[in-house]
Structure 1
Amino acid sequence: MQNFAVLLTCFNRKEKSLAALESLYKAKEVLNKDVVMSVYLTDDGSTDGTSEAVKKQFPAVKLLKGSGDLYWAGGMRNSWSAALKNNYDAYLLLNDDTKPYSNFLVDLFETHNYCIQEYGKGGVYIGATLDEDTNEMTYGGSVFTNKFKGNYKKLIPNGEFPQACELGNANILLASKDAVEKIGGLSDGYVHGLADFDYTLKAKKNNIPVLLAANYLGTCTNDHIDKYAKFVTLPLSERLKMLYNPIGFDFKSHLVYMKNHFLYRLPLVFIMGYFKVVFPKIYKNKILRK
């Protein structure tokens, strides 16, 4: 690879965004100096001074303004669209709350070389992350245990070689030029979540290798709270709003995901979405626990 683009989006997480960028640039120093890195960051209306701080500390970053309602999927699509105007050899998706290790770019490039050697073409590469405090795995690559039900398990990096996976979190995800030329960037329709799962499934459907890197590539805390604890206490009108809220249950993205990959489950998911709005305690206590 001669060059690659790094894609990020942010909203009011200045310190985390700056830490992610600092770790990224330190990792670039470890990589081959001849490889050119370009960074695209969509700031979706931050009011905490993120853009100003980025301009000051990382002037090379290409700052893009969001509409204020892009959320994660929309912000990443915006950064990717800008990067696609140039002909990069790869596109690295990096969450702004992720702190990559200093060797993570080297590991990703080695994963790419492994993919070329084993499959004869470039693929999509996932980097697993650990919780900085507990040292437990938070994000990475997964394989289905029951595709009909949509059940899956996370793969543990083995420290030796990349493993084929079916689903990948885009906390750290590198899409090769071969992959992007065939399937493009993140799909439209996703508001906040599931766009990364969609991307890896889309790659698999198009015979593009999806590999989990051999080593852990960074740290990221899983800060997703138990939404149901609050959900069951809300009045009906607020539960309905939370169902569709992108940082609530992001129902629209779930329906798009089912339509694209699990059409047979779409009617059930649609019905259960409204069931939990009307009967939240029954859903939480009887259905979620199964």
Structure 2
Amino acid sequence: MTPKIHIILCSHNRSKKTIACITSLVRQKSPNFQCTITLFDDGSVDGTVQAVQSQFPQVNVINGDGNYFWCRSMCLAYGAIKNNLSEADFLLCVNDDIVLYPGALEGLVEEHQKMSALISAPAVHVGYCEDSAGAITYGGLRRTGQIKYELLLEFGAVADSMNFNCVLLPKPILNEVGFLDPAFEHSMGDIEYGVRISRQGVKIVTSQKVVGLCEENDLTLNLKKMNFFGRCQALVSKKYFPVRSWCYFVQSTCNQFWPIYFLYPYLRFTFFLRSK
């Protein structure tokens, strides 16, 4: 039986990257699976929606108003197609700044099928991404502290959590443990999801090879360019550590000393980050 895969991604004002991403998804065609693509565009004003609809009329586009950011956009995309997942075997979540290499999706599906035959536990597969210099940028994560995670640079290994740049989720896992939590606005939702499903016995398995090109987006570099007051304002914005999301994250993933971990990034990035 040919597996059916529903792909979801979100976008906001980076039309060229979004088009490159969808192009790479469409080129993943294989007789070994069937794909459907849904894009949630969060209020782009750079022609993203028009370009996608013109070049890829088969892509289902959902429009936001620009206030949802990454995690909530992905949650809305998932909510829009959730009732149709009865006909799908997998959900593939990707970031719109990734360009999948030829055969990447087929490889992930094959890896999952082989792994499922070897282990009794449910599993998701996270694909490794690399930058243009060949350095790994996103993928499986190793937890090294209560709020510290680093890339697990090991192919075919079991990770503690993951980035959501390219993740293959089997439908039974979605039915059992759900999806990303909309309590998170932009970031942190993918790491929390990895921790949550791991606690419920789901294995997060890293890909056997790099699946796509995705440059690293290091927001710390932006903070270094700001003055003290700019950093204070940025730290509580949606892209960094919004208070409610960050509080929920540490409460959900840390031990009883979570209030200390809650304060840590605000103190570190405000007072101990050297400006350039």
The TM-score normalised by the length of structure 1 is: 0.86
Aligned amino acid, residue 256 of structure 1: Y
Correspondence for 1:268 among 254, 260, 267: 260
Distance of 1:276 and 1:122 partners within structure 2? 38
Q: For 1:84, what is the secondary structure of its paired residue?
A: helix
Report what 2:273 is aligned to: 284
Task: Extract unaligned runs of 5+ from structure 1.
Answer: 286-290
Distance of 1:168 and 1:113 partners within structure 2? 20
Answer with 255-264 or 68-77: which moved more.
Answer: 255-264
2:13·2:44 contact (CA, 8 Å) conserved in 1?
yes
For residues 129-208 of structure 1, the aligned pairs below 5 Å read: 129-132=129-132, 134-144=133-143, 146-147=144-145, 149-158=146-155, 162-208=156-202
Distance of 2:122 and 2:265 partners within structure 1? 38
2:124·2:169 contact (CA, 8 Å) conserved in 1?
yes
Aligned amino acid, residue 163 of structure 1: A
Query: Any idea what the Cα deviations from partners look like across 1:228-257, whole Å, max 9, x if unmatched?
Result: 3134x143xx44431221124444332221
Flag the 1:269–1:157 CA change in 2: closer, same or farther, 3 A: closer
Sequence identity percentage: 24
Q: For 2:225, what is the secondary structure of its paired residue?
A: helix
Report what 1:288 is aligned to: none
2:147·2:250 contact (CA, 8 Å) conserved in 1?
no
Give the superposition deviation at 1:11.
Answer: 0.2
Q: For 1:67, what is the secondary structure of its paired residue?
A: coil
Distance of 2:169 and 2:3 partners within structure 1? 14
Distance of 2:168 and 2:182 partners within structure 1? 19
Report what 1:11 is aligned to: 12
Q: For 2:65, what is the secondary structure of its paired residue?
A: coil
Q: Give yes or no for the alignment of 1:242 onto 2:234.
A: yes
2:184·2:245 contact (CA, 8 Å) conserved in 1?
yes
Answer with 193-202 or 221-230: which moved more.
Answer: 221-230
For residues 47-196 of structure 1, the aligned pairs below 5 Å read: 47-86=45-84, 87=86, 88-120=88-120, 122-132=122-132, 134-144=133-143, 146-147=144-145, 149-158=146-155, 162-196=156-190
Distance of 2:137 and 2:41 partners within structure 1? 25
Distance of 1:265 and 1:191 partners within structure 2? 24
Report what 1:214 is aligned to: 208
- After superposing on structure 2, the runs of 4+ consecutive aligned residues of structure 1 that deviate more than 4 Å are none
2:121·2:201 contact (CA, 8 Å) conserved in 1?
no
Distance of 2:257 and 2:38 partners within structure 1? 36
Give the superposition deviation at 1:74.
Answer: 0.8
Aligned amino acid, residue 120 of structure 1: S
Distance of 1:164 and 1:272 partners within structure 2? 28
1:142·1:152 contact (CA, 8 Å) conserved in 2?
yes
Correspondence for 1:227 among 202, 222, 227: 222
Distance of 1:271 and 1:112 partners within structure 2? 39
Q: For 2:192, what is the secondary structure of its paired residue?
A: helix
Q: CA RMSD in A?
A: 1.9
Distance of 1:222 and 1:77 partners within structure 2? 23
Distance of 2:23 and 2:116 partners within structure 1? 30
Task: Extract unaligned runs of 5+ from structure 2.
Answer: none
Answer with 249-258 or 215-224: which moved more.
Answer: 249-258
Give the superposition deviation at 1:167.
Answer: 1.3
The TM-score normalised by the length of structure 2 is: 0.91
Answer with 11-20 or 173-182: which moved more.
Answer: 173-182
